[in-house]
Chain A
Amino acid sequence: MQWITLFQKEMLENWRNKKWIWFPLVIILMAIMDPISNYYLPQIIEATGGLPEGTNIELPDYTPSEVIMMSLGQISSLGVLVIVLISMGTIAGERKSGVSELILVKPVAYRNYITAKWAALIVLVWGALFIGLLASWYYVTILYGSLAFGSLLLVVLFYGLWLTLVVTVSIFYNTLFKSVGVVGFLSVLTIMLMSLVTKIFGRFLNWSPIHLSDHIFDMLMMEQISTELIATAIITLAITIILLTGSIFIFKSKEMAN
């Protein structure tokens, strides 16, 4: 009951500050950029002045799976930054402004306060991811060939886990620091370090959440869900739960005024 109240407030806030409009639009834009630009590349080159007579460019024929992966690639880089951007102030900002002082003197359970904020962000991020990849899928089917809708849903499901982790990392830093900038910086830094460590020790970290998209690509190619994908998904989920639980404990032990 109290959780629902907190959750509804977050949803209403995200609606009133137009996050529910611009964030999905940004994700759609990122998702359809590569499918469209790659398809029309020859026409684009011609329209921008063309190349000398006799130049012969062979453009690779992309498979629908490869193009969907391009969309994921865009969301992995730029999309993650935008997710950090929309989530970095959710608790830190309220503490900084002082409004949390009014809220947390009410008998609000800290776990409700944190998980309601987390859930509202997850709904927003998953909603945008779904709409974005749906748009990408639409262009892929028209321009490159068919891709089963079921496969698309699986991509959303597994890739959504990675974005969930990104949101959770941001929530975690939100409970640690009051400065919105610090939260944003550390969240991005953490994700970059995770990626770096995975690249260096890749052979040993096959189940690192960073590898989710690789395993998703394999899934599309092989048309079956590998055990690596399942294992990586479980690891991602586990880290998410640990971080979220940790956030609640940190928040409980903190004094709200400081």
Chain B
Amino acid sequence: MTLLTVSNLTKVYDKKAAVDHVSFTFQKGKCIALIGPNGAGKTTILRTLSGILTPTTGSVTFADNEKNEDIRKWIGYLPQYPVFYSWMTGKEFLVYAAKLAYTPKAEAEKRAVELLKKVGIEEAGDQHISKYSGGMKQRLGIAQATIHKPKLLLLDEPVSSLDPIGRREVLTLMEELKQEMTILFSTHILGDADEVSDELLLLHQGKIVESGTMAELRKKYQTAKIELEFQHDSIPYQAKVNAMASIESSYVDQNMLHVNAIDITQARQDILHVASAENWPLTSFSLNRASLEDMFMKVVKR
């Protein structure tokens, strides 16, 4: 089921397109990661979807919006650096946000208490936001973005500013939220995207350069590389490896021998066979799965 269609979205700042003819559709209940280096246009896309920015050209259409209603009621948005009314308490802010989205008062109070607990800051609910730490603000930010039960949750770099523990907790929280709503989040930390997202959109200089599920992209960008690490110099073994029919080429980097295979399965067999027969002093043997980093570098350089 399609939730949202973005077609030919373009946003121009000072004659430079921050987002350049971007088109994609979201399926309901997916978690999509928007990946790209700084300045790729991630924040601009999120802000345009949230309605804060108006697109220069192109459109954002909700599938269920036949009556052409205000789309903001279905959207929850967390900016990269959320700013709150520091004189309010966390709970007050949540109730306020919920009421602005037409949630009745009693329901708003109930949801606020639930969400404070869910994001793990329930003890701080009655404290003024001016006393909150960065991580607490980030959690409160997620709570305020979800309090009106939006269909689409937009998170701008939700975990980049958190410490490892906070990062883990927020990622777990996103896994939970995925059950209830569609999530689009931006990140430049590829590992995070790998962890929670179902689909990836790779963004470079305002354009979507690659998209798909993690598995699809892995397959597409898989490399036939094997890395061998020896206890000492790897040069004596290079000739033996190169002699194998399944090997295309190799190069030496101190104790490491990087091998480009023609047939990766055959090459693995060949190398392991010889290595065990001749008792090579191997310290590690790895089949190089394409990491998101490699993939990203390839796509960007293309």
Contacts and interface: CB of A to CB of B under 8 A. Distances in A.
Interface string B131-160: 000000000010010001000000000000
Nearest to A257: B52
The range of chain B's interface size is 20 to 34
A148 interface: no
A11 to B, nearest CB: 13
Nearest to B144: A102
B70 A107 contact: yes
B73 to A, nearest CB: 4
Contact of A107 (B53, B82, B84, B102): B102
A5 B72 CA distance: 18
A106 B75 CA distance: 8
A13 B86 CA distance: 10
A98 B52 contact: no
Given A102-B82, A106-B72, A257-B47, A6 B87 contact: no
Contact of B81 (A13, A98, A255): A98
Given A101-B79, A106-B148, A2 B85 contact: no
B51 interface: yes
Contacts of B287: none
A107 B54 CA distance: 15
Contacts of A257: 47, 52-53
Contact of B96 (A5, A17, A104): A5
B50 interface: yes
Interface in B43-93: 47, 50-54, 70, 72-73, 75, 77, 79, 81-85, 87
Contacts, number: 64
A106 B83 contact: no
Given A255-B52, A256-B52, A102 B72 contact: no
Interface in B150-184: none
B83 to A, nearest CB: 4
B274 interface: no
B268 interface: no
A146 B176 CA distance: 72
Contacts of A5: 96, 99-100
Nearest to A106: B100
Given A98-B79, A255-B53, A256-B52, A105 B87 contact: no
A147 B144 CA distance: 54
A5 to B, nearest CB: 4
B102 A2 contact: yes
Nearest to B85: A99
A97 B83 contact: yes
Contacts of A97: 83
B101 A107 contact: yes
A106 B73 CA distance: 6
Interface in A1-58: 1-2, 5-6, 9, 13, 16-17
A230 interface: no
A103 B51 CA distance: 12
Contacts of B97: 102-103, 106
Interface of B: 47, 50-54, 70, 72-73, 75, 77, 79, 81-85, 87, 96-97, 99-102, 141, 144, 148
30 contacts: A2-B99, A2-B102, A5-B96, A5-B100, A13-B87, A16-B87, A17-B87, A98-B79, A99-B84, A101-B52, A101-B77, A101-B79, A102-B97, A102-B144, A103-B100, A105-B50, A105-B52, A105-B77, A106-B72, A106-B73, A106-B97, A106-B100, A107-B70, A107-B72, A107-B100, A107-B101, A108-B72, A255-B52, A255-B54, A257-B52
Interface of A: 1-2, 5-6, 9, 13, 16-17, 97-99, 101-108, 255-257
Q: For the complex of A and B, list the 7 residue pairs with the smallest distance between their C-beta atoms, beginning with the closest.
A: A98-B83, A106-B100, A107-B73, A107-B72, A105-B77, A5-B99, A99-B83
